[in-house]
Structure 1
Amino acid sequence: MASSSQSAEEAQHAKLWSKSAHRSIPSQNDVSEAHASSIPSLDLDKIEVRMNNLEGLSNGWRSLPDQVKVRFEEKYGRIATLMQVKVQIPALKAMLSVWNSKYGVFSFNDIDTVPTMEEYQTLLGIPYSLQNRIYLHLEHRQTWKRLAHMLGTPPEEVKSKETAKGNTHGWYWTYLQKWLDQCLREKQWDQASVALALGIYGLILFPGPLGIITCNAVEVFWTVERQQINPIPAILAETLLTLTYCRQQGKGSLKCCSQLLYLWIISHMCPVETKGLTWYLDQPPIKRMTRLVISLKNEQQWWERILSFNSHDYCWRKLWTSGQPVLISTGGNQSVSLIGVTGYTSYTPALVMRQFGSTQSVINIKEYHQGRFYHELKEEEGLKMARKSWENITLMEKSPKGPSASGDYLKWRTDRDREHSHQRIQGQQPSPKRPIRGS
């Protein structure tokens, strides 16, 4: 919807769901009683979505000649477009309220859905050498030496500029921006492109404390630059890890690529507004999406939009998504191990196969890992298994049949809701201003 007001149909949806939203909550509370009791209520007022100032990056991008921008995208993908994304933070908060940390999906009504690697890859178009050559977290790296090598600066200087903020080490973006500005003045376009890409990795794709390019972001960028690894699993890992952390704590700061998560949300939750992206491919979808006007503005409106969908009218698949085979498992399991910069987790494509135009099915929940953060690890056995699982990946050709769900899945989903229907919140509509319990 590109207009400033809701359509009559959408207004009717909002009216209906404002009366009956509390009856739909059991679909989100598909966790065991013990699990539910261990999760605090979610207070959206205590959820922060802090985003970096991108003015310096944007000015640098505009200073590049067009032919340099073309070469940049050929090398790094369409990551620069993320600078143009205007994120509606209430949309992220509303989606967090339906995040199910037990299964690693957004769960509402009769829908399980989650961002997938293929969707993120199609939006960003990041080239890589091999699909299973991914970022592998290793300790005891001297990141400052790698950064000095990329900057062409004496290692001692880079080491002296390293800063610490809490447990996070890195460099202030202002320090790196001086190098960018110098490259632009001297028209050293290759070096300027490296600076811009590094800034995008540190301020957007793998954000840390505001204004800091973390050692973690530098490490990922180094492997992309030198080894052409596939960074998408790490980007997705950080999305799922931060959603689970905030949901389990009931508060916190969403630290992931908010721009990319927001684009995923509107691609599925705003089918009217994004309809044209399905058919017109004169430009990559991400560039057209930055020009969309999405009128919903607050958590309540986004909440009502989310609850207006069921599995029959939800926008499962966008036809602009990649036609390449789908990665459905690593290590012979139903889950895909994801290794990020702060921890590792997994997601289970079987639960969201409708997004690939295939059949949604029941999963073995024992194979799904909610996630562990590196600073909490007392042993690295789980991380070692996650790394090793990428030696054996399973791909599936996309199905031409169209989205569907197996009978077993439908029964499992129904039983899941019925079993926990006692957890419904009686007598009130969930509100962004009230704590939300569930999932």
Structure 2
Amino acid sequence: MENGPLDRVEGNANVHRWSEQTQLEKRDSISVGFMSELSDYTRISVTQNNLQELKEIWDQWDNKTKQLFYGNYGDLPYLLDVQVDKHLFRAFAQFWNPVYSCFTFGEVDLVPTVEEYTALLRCPRFQMDRIYSRAACVPTFWKKLMTVTRMSEQWITARIKEKGECRCISWVALKDLILTHPDETKKVDVFALGLYGLMVFPRALGYVDEATTDLFHRLSKRVTAVPTILAETFRSLGTCRKTGAGRFIRCAQLLLAWFYSHF
């Protein structure tokens, strides 16, 4: 059987030596005398959606419905039990260096990898060689929602809201649908959409935005969203550190789960 990308991994020490030597030769940011200009302290807001209603719905489901979810989306609901320690999160976020896109603890550099996040998301349906990217032509927002929910165009368009620069649908509307939908498969799909919108990509609090539905629409193709989740995590951390303040708008639960796995 042909080896996959996970079978071609260099030792960390070799990669570190190669990276350091290459960067020194190219005279980039680790050139002699380089100083990383970061704020002494970054005031990061870790305001998250209240996930209690999602957890209550999950806890009420029987084993058959849960197995249906596991088969389609993996064991993502375990993250609902990961408590976001705001003080811990703010503390270790101070060690994020956007120049190298990694955490630097003294002389140790540490960063979440695709392999680690894939393991933490516990979704066996992901295919490592099929990475999510936004297609040139994608269905409209309401059409994607129709596909996920199987509700009418009138039902969908009446519930689409404008939040800042993005279009969204409220969690309240999705929650009511989960509780009343006659199709168990669609009920599971809407619940998964809520998980991704409220926990993995919590951009607009209390809402699931259009960008999340685009990614979710592609999950049925068995693509992996891990590189996107990692890139957006790095982007949010970097933005906060460079400006000295801001709200972390990605999955704090997943980043903390990674942190706990190392410490």
> Does the alignment pair 1:71 with 2:53?
no
Tell me the amino acid that sits aligned with residue 52 of structure 2. Answer: E
Residues 31, 161 of structure 1: CA spacing in aligned structure 2 closer, same or farther, 3 A cutoff? Answer: farther
Residues 60, 32 of structure 1: CA spacing in aligned structure 2 closer, same or farther, 3 A cutoff? Answer: farther
* Secondary structure in 2 matching 1:51: coil
Residues 96, 129 of structure 1: CA spacing in aligned structure 2 closer, same or farther, 3 A cutoff? Answer: closer
**Segments of 4+ moved more than 4 angstroms:** 29-35
Q: 1:284-342: per-residue Cα shift (whole Å, max 9, x none)? A: xxxxxxxxxxxxxxxxxxxxxxxxxxxxxxxxxxxxxxxxxxxxxxxxxxxxxxxxxxx
| Alpha-carbon distance in 2 for matches of 1:30, 1:95 | 23
What residue in structure 2 maps to residue 338 of structure 1? none
Number of matched pairs: 234
Tell me the amino acid that sits aligned with residue 244 of structure 1. Answer: G
Q: Is the 8 A contact 2:141 2:210 kept in 1?
A: yes
What residue in structure 1 maps to residue 162 of structure 2? 164
Tell me the amino acid that sits aligned with residue 70 of structure 2. Answer: E
| Alpha-carbon distance in 2 for matches of 1:32, 1:244 | 23
What residue in structure 1 maps to residue 199 of structure 2? 204
Structure 1 residues not aligned, in runs of 5+: 1-28, 270-439
**Counterpart pick for 1:97 among 85, 94, 97:** 94
| Alpha-carbon distance in 2 for matches of 1:139, 1:252 | 31
> Does the alignment pair 1:264 with 2:258?
yes
What residue in structure 1 maps to residue 15 of structure 2? none
Residues 110, 164 of structure 1: CA spacing in aligned structure 2 closer, same or farther, 3 A cutoff? Answer: same
Q: Which has the larger radius of gyration?
A: 1
> What TM-score do the two structures reach when normalised by structure 2?
0.82
Q: 1:156-184: per-residue Cα shift (whole Å, max 9, x none)? A: 3312321111112211110111111102x
The alpha carbon displacement at 1:204 in A equals 0.7
What RMSD, in angstroms, separates the aligned Cα atoms of the two structures? 2.1
The alpha carbon displacement at 1:129 in A equals 5.4
> Does the alignment pair 1:85 with 2:90?
no
Residues 169, 35 of structure 1: CA spacing in aligned structure 2 closer, same or farther, 3 A cutoff? Answer: farther
The alpha carbon displacement at 1:42 in A equals 4.4
Tell me the amino acid that sits aligned with residue 179 of structure 1. Answer: L
Tell me the amino acid that sits aligned with residue 211 of structure 1. Answer: G
What residue in structure 1 maps to residue 241 of structure 2? 247
Q: How does 1:420-435 map to 2 (within 5 A)?
A: none
| Alpha-carbon distance in 1 for matches of 2:219, 2:123 | 10
Q: 1:89-148: per-residue Cα shift (whole Å, max 9, x none)? A: 122211211111111110121101101111111122113353121211246641211111
| Alpha-carbon distance in 1 for matches of 2:33, 2:245 | 21
Q: Is the 8 A contact 1:148 1:158 kept in 2?
A: yes
| Alpha-carbon distance in 1 for matches of 2:126, 2:261 | 28
What residue in structure 2 maps to residue 235 of structure 1? 229
Structure 2 residues not aligned, in runs of 5+: 1-28
| Alpha-carbon distance in 2 for matches of 1:193, 1:47 | 33
Q: How does 1:289-368 map to 2 (within 5 A)?
A: none
Residues 196, 36 of structure 1: CA spacing in aligned structure 2 closer, same or farther, 3 A cutoff? Answer: same
What residue in structure 1 maps to residue 210 of structure 2? 215
What residue in structure 2 maps to residue 132 of structure 1? 129
**Counterpart pick for 2:107 among 106, 110, 114:** 110
| Alpha-carbon distance in 1 for matches of 2:257, 2:64 | 27
Q: Is the 8 A contact 2:36 2:99 kept in 1?
A: no
The alpha carbon displacement at 1:245 in A equals 0.8
Q: Is the 8 A contact 1:246 1:254 kept in 2?
A: yes
